[in-house]
DNA sequence: GTGAAAGCGCTAACAC
DNA sequence: GTGTTAGCGCTTTCAC
């Protein structure tokens, strides 16, 4: 590795002081054109790159935004990340990515990792931290889990995406999930379904609770009797979707649901697979609605009717809010976006 | 925001010098048990977090690995990222993510962004840079594109994943793509197909060239006549897959391919959709093979036969190599992994 | 076992 | 317009 060049080296070679070098580097004060050119030439010649560590140490800003998410492999996250990135990049920020996923799907381990990441990010002096997924989706996070984030929030701007921490009063950007679930359920009801089940998610998570709440609201207002055994949680993965759907679809034809509302698109894709395995055609014999609208929702066969969480827009919005937080511009504490029903091919009126 | 606590604050409160505080922070020298405890107590009380910027400035290491990739939204990348992350994390590294995607699919813009990211990462003093996708997949990158990376490589360890830069002689971890394509083609030939087309990819990219090369090798050795109009490139997306497949599938039944080898899984999924649109059943009337083995390959209907690029393993391996590079341990310049054919449901003997 | 002091590479007063 | 200098917060010789 080559020995790094510093402002001093440049200054010496140009017969000027480091201050002048710094001035041309940052355009922070007028410099005589001829010396500026000389310095610029030397900088270019050595391909000099100022040490951002030193600069940040002094300026107390790094231009880095830390982001803690639970699993980059879940397509939902890259989608919002991408929105965040595009918007934040235009404002000069770069990203510090922390994936708290645990190899063995152990939540405790995941939350521990979140804590560690929170600390690492603060030590690295990021300008802001955004949290998405993980503990902020817990309906009843422990006191410490909340406290840690609150403490972090005292030192650096913290923004929560699609989640919350009861009693923490942090800035948030979120999509109204209950409303999203209502959209989905209402669509099913309007198609004529009366035997609808909800599958997927984790019942200890607030996102799941809200989605189920929306679902039940619509059933109730439609005068459909509730069946607690038709609300089955267990996970957000395709594998879980297959399993949960199978349980329901193996019931005799008259006694099984004619429509499945899923906690997310992954589960819906699992349901699609389960239906196929059972020889049930979608949407003719079974309607399926997803949630999130990840890209693959449009690519499955049949294409998934789903609720768009506008991942990209959420990301962009979050980046905007974060920037305001960092620059101490006034922003609303909570920004709620509206979900949207996307009707594609996986839903139809029930078979008669 | 709270005023940050420094080692000086801790030192003063403990009536010791900053040196001692630093010693307990890093366990870098023996400290009397009683004073250690006192200091630890004060640190805990203030939730003191040492400023990593200052530390790194001195130590000349940041524990950060920069990663430049072309589009986090393409599921292939999160997959290898995840492998990288898990492995690198266990060694104490964290990630700096740079997504060079351009909103308008403009490659020039993308390469420019790569250049900018390369510089940003060096300024931030990352311990290493890994490049995946983008310019390193170009068959004929410009002199400058190569030179920039070579220059970076003189200042900080650079690792290329699944690509190369002619004449650059950088460390690489890659999967043998030509062999992968041969695996796929051979599978099709062994099933009895003689009318096979290749779709997808960009013909200016080395990964595409290699995949086509492997494909043609097998056709040739199987005595199948080549049809240059049955090799169609144009992109790596689902949309492109649909388009390219449509063109071929609209040919009259005797004159169209009985099997499609795709440049990647996304294109294969597009092909699946095109087939369905044309009322052609897969695999009965048309076999389709993908490439990469992204998670969704196993989730499509029918499940995709594909070539596994072992994304996760590639990531883990890369993390290992990067660590060695950083710690100046000897490592092979090139690590080649073997792809694997994964036979699922989208391939079958041709209809008679 | 502990402290004083130098220095990592940069920026920004403050002088001139 | 330009130079001098004092930090930013940390680690680490080198004394004691």
Residue A165, in any domain of the structure: yes
Is residue B90 located within the same domain as residue B195? no
C-alpha count within 13 angstroms, C-beta hemisphere, residue B158: 27
DSSP state letters, A199-263: E-B-TTBHHHHHHHHHHHHHHHHTTPPP-GGGEE--BSSHHHHHHHHHHHHTS-GGGS-SEEEES
pLDDT at B104 exceeding the cut of 80? no
pLDDT of residue B5: 96
Task: Give B-chain residues touching A101 at CB under 8 angstroms.
Answer: 82, 85-86
pLDDT class of B352 with cuts at 50, 70, 90: confident
d(CA B189, CA B218): 8
Is residue A205 located within the same domain as residue A102? no
Helix B177-190 / helix B206-221 crossing angle, nearest 10 deg: 40
- Residue A185 belongs to what H/E stretch? helix A177-191
Is residue A214 located within the same domain as residue A98? no
Residue A1, in any domain of the structure: no
Is residue A162 located within the same domain as residue A74? yes
Is residue A286 located within the same domain as residue A236? yes
Residue A273, in any domain of the structure: yes
Q: Please indicate whether, in this complex, the C-beta atoms of A125 and B52 are within 8 angstroms of each other.
A: yes
Residue A119, in any domain of the structure: yes
Query: Percent of chain B at pLDDT above 90?
Result: 96
pLDDT at B228 exceeding the cut of 90? yes
What SS3 state is found at A270? Answer: helix
Beta bridge partners of B96: A96, B66
pLDDT at B188 exceeding the cut of 80? yes
Is residue A143 located within the same domain as residue A221? no
Query: Residue A35 gets which letter from DSSP?
Result: H
Helix/strand/coil (H/E/C) assignment for every residue in chain B: CCCCCCHHHHHHHHCCCHHHHHHHHHCCCCCCHHHHHHHHHHHHHHCCCCCHHHHHHHHCCCCEEEEEECCCCCCHHHHHHHHHHHHHHHCCCEEEEEECCCCCCCHHHHHHHHHHHHHHHHHCCCCEEEEECHHHHECCCCHHHHHHHHHHHHHCCEEEECCCCCCCCCEEEEECHHHHHHHHHHHHHHCCCCCEEEECECCCEHHHHHHHHHHHHHHHHCCCCCCHHHEECCECCHHHHHHHHHHHHCCCHHHCCCEEEECCHHHHHHHHHHHHHCCCCCCCCCEEECCECCHHHHCCCCCCEEEECCHHHHHHHHHHHHHHHHCCCCCCCEEEECCEEECCCCCCCCCC
> Is any atom of nucleic acid chain C found less than 7 Å from the CB of residue B17?
yes
**Which residue would you say has higher pLDDT here, A101 or A268?**
A268
Is residue B134 located within the same domain as residue B258? no
Is residue B215 located within the same domain as residue B300? yes
pLDDT class of A290 with cuts at 50, 70, 90: very high
Max Cα distance, chain A (Å)? 90
Q: Provide the CATH number for the domain around residue B80.
A: 3.40.50.2300
DSSP state letters, A53-86: HHHHHHHT---EEEEEES-TTSTHHHHHHHHHHH
Is residue A39 located within the same domain as residue A104? no
Chain B (8-67) residues lying within 8 Å, Cβ to Cβ, of chain A:
47, 49-54, 56-57, 62, 64
Q: Please indicate whether, in this complex, the C-beta atoms of A154 and B85 are within 8 angstroms of each other.
A: no
Residue A344, in any domain of the structure: no
Q: Give the nearest partner residue to A123 out of B49, B81, B98, using CB atoms.
A: B49
Cβ pair B157, B127 in contact under 8 A: yes
Chain length of chain B: 352
> Is any atom of nucleic acid chain C found less than 7 Å from the CB of residue A58?
yes
**How many angstroms separate the Cα of A131 from the Cα of each of A145, A316, B92, B257?**
13, 14, 21, 49
**Quick one: which residue's CA is nearest to D7's C1'?**
A58
Tell me whether B228 touches chain A (CB under 8 Å). Answer: no
Condensed to tens digits (0 to 9), the pLDDT of residues B56-83 reads 999 999 999 999 999 999 999 999 999 9
> Is any atom of nucleic acid chain D found less than 7 Å from the CB of residue B51?
yes
pLDDT of residue A36: 96
Q: Measure the CA dihedral B42/B46/B52/B53, to 10°.
A: -110
Query: Residue A305 gets which letter from DSSP?
Result: B
Residue A77, in any domain of the structure: yes
pLDDT at A60 exceeding the cut of 90? yes
Tell me whether A75 touches chain B (CB under 8 Å). Answer: yes
**Quick one: which residue's CA is nearest to D3's C1'?**
A17
pLDDT class of B102 with cuts at 50, 70, 90: confident
Listed in sequence order, the residues at least 6 apart from A174 whose beta carbon sits closer than 8 Å to its beta carbon are A160, A161, A162, A163, A164, A314, A334, A335, A336, A337
Is residue A305 located within the same domain as residue A194? yes
> Is any atom of nucleic acid chain C found less than 7 Å from the CB of residue B16?
yes
- What's the alpha-carbon Rg for chain B, to the nearest Å? 26
d(CA A82, CA A80): 5
Q: Provide the CATH number for the domain around residue B12.
A: 1.10.260.40
Chain B (146-165) residues lying within 8 Å, Cβ to Cβ, of chain A:
151, 154-157
Q: What is the mean pLDDT of chain B?
A: 96
d(CA B164, CA B207): 10
Protein-nucleic contacts, chain B 53-72 to strand C, CB < 7 Å: 54, 57-58, 60
> Is any atom of nucleic acid chain D found less than 7 Å from the CB of residue B56?
no
Cβ pair A321, A331 in contact under 8 A: yes
> Is any atom of nucleic acid chain D found less than 7 Å from the CB of residue A54?
yes
Condensed to tens digits (0 to 9), the pLDDT of residues A95-143 reads 999 999 877 778 999 999 999 999 999 999 999 999 999 999 999 999 9
Q: How many CB atoms lie within 10 A of CB B250?
A: 11
Round to the nearest angstrom and report the end-to-end CA distance of chain B: 74
**Quick one: which residue's CA is nearest to C7's C1'?**
B58
Number of domains present in the structure of chain B: 3
d(CA A33, CA B210): 52
Is residue B236 located within the same domain as residue B328? no
Residue B97, in any domain of the structure: yes
What SS3 state is found at A154? Answer: helix
Helix B107-123 / helix B143-155 crossing angle, nearest 10 deg: 20
pLDDT of residue B253: 87
Query: Residue A159 gets which letter from DSSP?
Result: E
Residue B145, in any domain of the structure: yes
Is residue A43 located within the same domain as residue A139? no
What average pLDDT does the segment B41-55 reach?
97
Nucleotides of C under 7 A from a protein CB: 1-5, 7-13
Distance in Å from C7's C1' to B44's CA comes to 29
What average pLDDT does the segment B169-196 reach?
98
What average pLDDT does the segment B33-57 reach?
97
**How many angstroms separate the Cα of B194 from the Cα of each of A57, A249, B181?**
65, 41, 16
pLDDT at B139 exceeding the cut of 90? yes
Condensed to tens digits (0 to 9), the pLDDT of residues A145-201 reads 999 999 999 999 999 999 999 999 999 999 999 999 999 999 999 999 999 999 999
For B44, the domain range is: 7-50
pLDDT of residue B86: 93
Distance in Å from C4's C1' to B22's CA comes to 14
pLDDT of residue B84: 96
pLDDT class of B134 with cuts at 50, 70, 90: very high
């Amino acid at each position: 590795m080559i020995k790094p060049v510093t402002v001093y080296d440049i200054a010496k070679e140009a017969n000027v002081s480091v201050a002048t070098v710094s001035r041309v580097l940052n355009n922070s004060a007028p410099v005589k054109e001829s010396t500026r050119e000389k310095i610029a030439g030397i900088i270019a010649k050595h391909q000099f790159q100022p040490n951002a560590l030193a600069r940040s140490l002094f300026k107390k800003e790094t231009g880095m935004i830390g982001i803690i998410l639970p699993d980059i492999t879940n397509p939902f996250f890259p989608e919002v990340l991408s929105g965040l990135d595009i918007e934040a990049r235009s404002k000069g920020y770069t990203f510090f990515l922390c994936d708290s996923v645990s190899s063995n799907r152990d939540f405790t381990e995941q939350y521990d990792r979140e804590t560690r990441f929170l600390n690492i990010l603060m030590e690295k002096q990021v300008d802001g931290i955004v949290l998405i997924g993980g503990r902020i989706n817990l309906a009843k996070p422990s006191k410490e889990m909340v406290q840690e984030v609150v403490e972090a929030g005292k030192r650096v701007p913290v923004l929560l995406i699609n989640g919350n921490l009861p009693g923490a009063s942090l800035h948030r950007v979120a999509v109204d999930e209950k409303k999203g679930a209502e959209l989905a359920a209402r669509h099913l009801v309007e198609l004529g379904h009366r035997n609808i089940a909800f599958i997927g998610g984790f019942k200890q998570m607030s996102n799941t609770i809200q989605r189920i709440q929306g679902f039940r609201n619509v059933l109730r207002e439609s005068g459909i009797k509730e069946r607690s055994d038709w609300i089955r949680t267990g996970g957000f993965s395709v594998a879980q979707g297959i399993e949960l759907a199978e349980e329901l679809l193996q019931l005799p034809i008259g006694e099984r649901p004619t429509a499945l509302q899923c906690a997310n698109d992954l589960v819906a894709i699992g349901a699609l697979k389960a239906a196929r395995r059972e020889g049930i055609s979608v949407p003719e014999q079974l309607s399926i609605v997803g949630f999130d609208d990840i890209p693959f929702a449009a690519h499955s066969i049949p294409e998934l009717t789903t609720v768009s969480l506008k991942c990209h827009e959420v990301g962009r919005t979050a980046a905007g809010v974060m920037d305001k937080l960092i620059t101490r511009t006034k922003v609303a504490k909570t920004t709620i976006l509206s979900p949207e029903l996307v009707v594609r091919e996986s839903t139809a009126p029930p078979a008669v």
